[in-house]
Structure 1
Amino acid sequence: MTESLADAIARAGGALPLLRNAQARPTIFPVTAEFSNWRSEQQSWRESVALLDQSHHMTDLFVSGSDALRLLRDVGVNSFASFPVDRAKQFIAVNHEGYLIGDAILFHLDDDVFDLVGHQMVIDWLQFHGETGGFDVTFERDGNSIVRAGDPKLYRYELQGPNALALMEKVTGAPVPDTKFFHMATFDLDGVVVRSLRHGMAGQPGFELFGPWSEGDRVRDALLRAGEDFDLVRVGAKAYSSANLESAWVPSPMPAIFSGRDTERYRAWLPATSAGSLAGSLASDRLEDYYVTPYDLGYGRSVAFDHDFIGRAALEELAADPPRQKVTLVWNADDVAAAQRSLLEPGLPAKYIDFPKARYGLYQVDRVLVDGRDVGISHDAGYITNEHVFASLASVESASAAPGTEVVVVWGEAPNSRKPAVEPHRQVEIRATVEPAPYSRFARESYRR
């Protein structure tokens, strides 16, 4: 019998000991790590066009039935007042206290048929409420290639960069229709029908192409042939995992499922394998200190009080004066170099800082200080070749969110946990400067254009 999350927490003596010492590895992208090198691959989505394979690392939850839209409306903070077929949106869910469960991309594929794509946190939450809430819905789940037996149901390719539009026009042999942000269109590509979502994953012009897995090789090969004229670069897992740092999307904040109203039933339903792992310098005994709200991550524009949903009352209180804002922290180059140099010096070194992405748990939560006082938490950290900076995405108090504010990121754990990615190390303080999120001016000004 599969162990439940509730049983695993009881066995470990609490949620935080379970997460701190989890043996699960950080997020794995089961595709080629580098096709050339991750620095050049990062540059491709800024300078030419990048091809990224999204077919393997995300979960698809196909939701269908007469109550599918009602379920999505009851669980999601988003407005569904106008959500016709061939649209998509960032679906966001919170618990009753208004803390974030997670987010994923929701595709409206057909009448009463939806596909929720992303990390499993919000997907699990939606499926739980659908199965236990008396909804007339049917679920078809296609896990990622780490847990799935056999091929994916769909291929999913991403084209990103200034040459993406010209490449699409060449490979389809026709002008690309003027498709709005997060709208879908259908193309004929090398004799097969391809659906496309218009968006920009790394803040650049982009198309997400998807269709039946059996046609995936044909579509990819056609893109590669046409892409020779546009300096197309295939992007591997290392560069792909860092793309969010440019668009300022936080991929895996700690889900607020370990405390709060009505979460006991959920933890009894959820397999322990979905728990995840917690990394970072924050060492609070209070679970809520690790959670974030939609406002902390810049999702306030997606919260719509035009319907009842789980957590509405809590978010209505927060909306008037959100306590935190999402920012980019640009880490001090000398301090980053000193932390890495400590591995070449006698004594206990700093925690190794991996490049291009430095996350060593699924949920990365590091302390952010101003004058020795905690003012927020730092999430994903990594190197952005296109900006020549090492940076992290963070949620900080509004009073400390102005660009140019000097802060300190505490890097490393104390005491060291037993996670596989954690070696013996000491904590260090790394100076950082608050900058806007996204950090890239192009991404800030053009992402939704």
Structure 2
Amino acid sequence: MTESAADAIARAGGPLPLLRNAQARPTIFPVTPEFSNWRSEQRSWRESVALLDQSHHMTDLFISGPDAARLLSETGVNSFATFPVDAAKQFVAVNDEGYLIGDAILFHLEEDVYDLVGWYMVLDWVQFIGETGDYDVTFERDANTLMRDAGVPPRLYRYELQGPHSLALMEKLTGASVPKTKFFGMATFEIDGVRVRSLRHGMAGQPGFELFGPWEEGERILAAILAAGAEFDLVRVGAKAYSSANLESAWVPSPLPAIFTGRRSAEYLAWLPAARLGSLAGSFVADDIEDYYLTPYDLGYGRSVAFDHEFIGRAALERHAAAEQRTKVTLVWDPEDVAAAQRSLYEEGVPAKYIDFPKARYGLYQVDRVSVDGVDAGISHDVGYITGEQVFVSLASVAPAFAEPGTRVVVTWGEEPTSAKPAVERHRQIDIRATVAPAPFSRFARETYRTA
């Protein structure tokens, strides 16, 4: 019998000891780690065109039926006043208390048919509300390759073309001018005689196209892309580089979902399999799980919130909107301190927590303490290296008083006491100095692409 999240939490003595000591290994993207090397692959989405395979690491939740639109409207903070077929948007959900459950990309595929794509946290929540509420909907889940039964292929292929040459490559592939499409706009093309749907998108804040269609047609489309891409310096991107792309666009992929307390939490945790709870890592330590909760505003999602409809958590979110919110920023870590942490591996005594490249996150939910003069200033999320800028950074949510670019802060790296997670070795905590910078860090993403 599958253990429920509620049973697992009771067994561990609470959500925090369970998440802190979860035996889940760090999340990996189940594709080739490197086709060449992750440094060159990172540069490709800035300098030429990158091909990223998204077919295996995301989960699709297909939602259909006469009440599908109503379910999504009542669980999403986004406006659904206009959302026609062949449109897509970032979908954001909160709990009854207005705290973030998560976000994903929502595609309107056909009349009354939608595909919610991304991390499973928000997908689980929407499915739970649909199954336990009064909705005439049907769900079909296509889990990522790590969670899918062995030998069963994905339902869809997904390839992303990203970088300054992506538009020229698309026109070569389709044999026609690509119509101007706004960010998150959708279009349909023909490639090698096959109908392909496209989302205008960019994981690293560069211009890009996410192409998708039936899995059976994926190899044919891939072959066409590779053949046409040679003249545009196409670079295939492996899991290592791809996992770091969000650092440039400032998307936080897996904030801790606010599912452990609140009005529906008991029923939801009894419904949710324990295997999907994840793991908590980092130096921020609190006794109350709610201290780890975020609002959409803490991650810069205020632009997605629309109080033009009724949705779960609306009243509470209106109160959050009126209060002071944290600001999403990029923290540029001092190279001397990062080098000192790495150098400790070669010195006597207990070293600092190992810093991996290009991505140093070692739990599904990475939450590190950010402070100024010993006073808490916010939390640091995803962390890693950007080759194109030659900087080591983390994405963070900090109090407005510390959000001005140039502000000096300290990130505490490592756990004390150390947890029992498999990715945590014997180490000592250290302080790493950092400087606040804008998010997205990429000027192109900040000033050109995301505003187009």
Query: Which TM-score band applies after superposition, normalised by the shorter structure?
Result: over 0.9
Q: What's the counterpart of residue 233 of structure 1?
A: 235
Match of 2:307 among 305, 308, 313: 305
Query: Structure 1 counterpart of 2:271, which letter?
Result: W
Q: What's the counterpart of residue 405 of structure 2?
A: 403
Counterpart of 1:165 in 2: which secondary structure? helix
Counterpart of 2:379 in 1: which secondary structure? strand
Q: What's the counterpart of residue 131 of structure 1?
A: 131
Q: What's the counterpart of residue 380 of structure 2?
A: 378
Counterpart of 2:436 in 1: which secondary structure? strand
Instruction: State the shift of 1:247 in Å.
Output: 0.2
- Cα deviations by residue, 1:269-322 (Å, 9 ceiling, x for unpaired): 000000100000011111111111100000001000001111111111121243
Instruction: State the alpha-carbon separation in 2 of the partners of residues 289 and 255 from structure 1.
Output: 12
Q: What's the counterpart of residue 24 of structure 1?
A: 24
- Cα deviations by residue, 1:52-100 (Å, 9 ceiling, x for unpaired): 0000000000000000000001100000001001110000001111111
Instruction: State the alpha-carbon separation in 2 of the partners of residues 405 and 95 from structure 1.
Output: 33
- In the TM superposition, structure 1's runs of 4+ consecutive aligned residues that sit over 6 Å from their partners are none
Instruction: State the shift of 1:382 in Å.
Output: 0.2
Query: Structure 1 counterpart of 2:308, which letter?
Result: D
Query: Structure 1 counterpart of 2:144, which letter?
Result: N
Q: What's the counterpart of residue 165 of structure 2?
A: 163
- Cα deviations by residue, 1:205-230 (Å, 9 ceiling, x for unpaired): 10000000000000001000000000
Counterpart of 1:245 in 2: which secondary structure? helix
Q: What's the counterpart of residue 254 of structure 2?
A: 252
Q: What's the counterpart of residue 342 of structure 2?
A: 340
Matches within 5 A, 1:91-170: 91-149=91-149, 150-170=152-172
Instruction: State the alpha-carbon separation in 2 of the partners of residues 270 and 157 from structure 1.
Output: 30
Q: What's the counterpart of residue 179 of structure 2?
A: 177
Runs (5+) with no aligned partner, structure 1: none
Runs (5+) with no aligned partner, structure 2: none
Counterpart of 2:91 in 1: which secondary structure? strand
Query: Structure 1 counterpart of 2:305, which letter?
Result: V
TM-score by length of 2: 0.99
Query: Structure 2 counterpart of 1:22, which letter?
Result: A
Instruction: State the shift of 1:193 in Å.
Output: 0.5
TM-score by length of 1: 0.99
Q: What's the counterpart of residue 202 of structure 1?
A: 204
Query: Structure 1 counterpart of 2:408, which letter?
Result: E
Instruction: State the alpha-carbon separation in 2 of the partners of residues 174 and 92 from structure 1.
Output: 35
Counterpart of 2:202 in 1: which secondary structure? coil
Instruction: State the shift of 1:160 in Å.
Output: 0.2
- Cα deviations by residue, 1:363-413 (Å, 9 ceiling, x for unpaired): 000000011001100000000001110000000001110001000000000
Q: What's the counterpart of residue 90 of structure 1?
A: 90
Matches within 5 A, 1:71-82: 71-82=71-82
Instruction: State the alpha-carbon separation in 2 of the partners of residues 257 and 303 from structure 1.
Output: 20
Instruction: State the alpha-carbon separation in 2 of the partners of residues 174 and 429 from structure 1.
Output: 54
Match of 1:215 among 208, 212, 217: 217
Query: Structure 1 counterpart of 2:359, which letter?
Result: K
Instruction: State the shift of 1:109 in Å.
Output: 0.4
Counterpart of 1:292 in 2: which secondary structure? coil
Counterpart of 2:371 in 1: which secondary structure? strand
- Maintained 8 Å contact 1:46/1:386: yes
Query: Structure 2 counterpart of 1:32, which letter?
Result: T
> When the two structures are aligned, how many residues end up with a matched partner?
449
Instruction: State the shift of 1:447 in Å.
Output: 2.3
1:423 aligns with 2:425: yes
Instruction: State the alpha-carbon separation in 2 of the partners of residues 180 and 389 from structure 1.
Output: 30
Q: What's the counterpart of residue 262 of structure 1?
A: 264
Q: What's the counterpart of residue 36 of structure 2?
A: 36
Q: What's the counterpart of residue 15 of structure 1?
A: 15
Instruction: State the alpha-carbon separation in 1 of the partners of residues 247 and 359 from structure 2.
Output: 9
Counterpart of 1:207 in 2: which secondary structure? strand
Counterpart of 2:9 in 1: which secondary structure? helix
- Maintained 8 Å contact 1:365/1:377: yes
Query: Structure 1 counterpart of 2:18, which letter?
Result: L
- Maintained 8 Å contact 1:296/1:322: no
Query: Structure 2 counterpart of 1:396, which letter?
Result: V
Counterpart of 2:217 in 1: which secondary structure? helix
Counterpart of 1:289 in 2: which secondary structure? helix
Counterpart of 1:35 in 2: which secondary structure? coil
Q: What's the counterpart of residue 314 of structure 1?
A: 316
Matches within 5 A, 1:282-293: 282-293=284-295
- Cα deviations by residue, 1:243-264 (Å, 9 ceiling, x for unpaired): 0000000000000011122111
- Maintained 8 Å contact 1:203/1:446: no
- Cα deviations by residue, 1:332-358 (Å, 9 ceiling, x for unpaired): 000000001000101000000000000
1:324 aligns with 2:326: yes
Counterpart of 1:41 in 2: which secondary structure? helix
- Maintained 8 Å contact 1:359/1:380: yes
Instruction: State the alpha-carbon separation in 2 of the partners of residues 242 and 43 from structure 1.
Output: 12
Query: Structure 2 counterpart of 1:271, which letter?
Result: P
Instruction: State the alpha-carbon separation in 1 of the partners of residues 353 and 203 from structure 2.
Output: 30
Instruction: State the shift of 1:25 in Å.
Output: 1.4
Q: What's the counterpart of residue 48 of structure 2?
A: 48
Instruction: State the alpha-carbon separation in 1 of the partners of residues 449 and 91 from structure 2.
Output: 18
Counterpart of 2:43 in 1: which secondary structure? helix
Query: Structure 1 counterpart of 2:422, which letter?
Result: P
Q: What's the counterpart of residue 359 of structure 2?
A: 357
Instruction: State the alpha-carbon separation in 2 of the partners of residues 88 and 156 from structure 1.
Output: 15
Instruction: State the shift of 1:191 in Å.
Output: 1.0
- Maintained 8 Å contact 1:78/1:303: yes
Instruction: State the shift of 1:199 in Å.
Output: 1.6
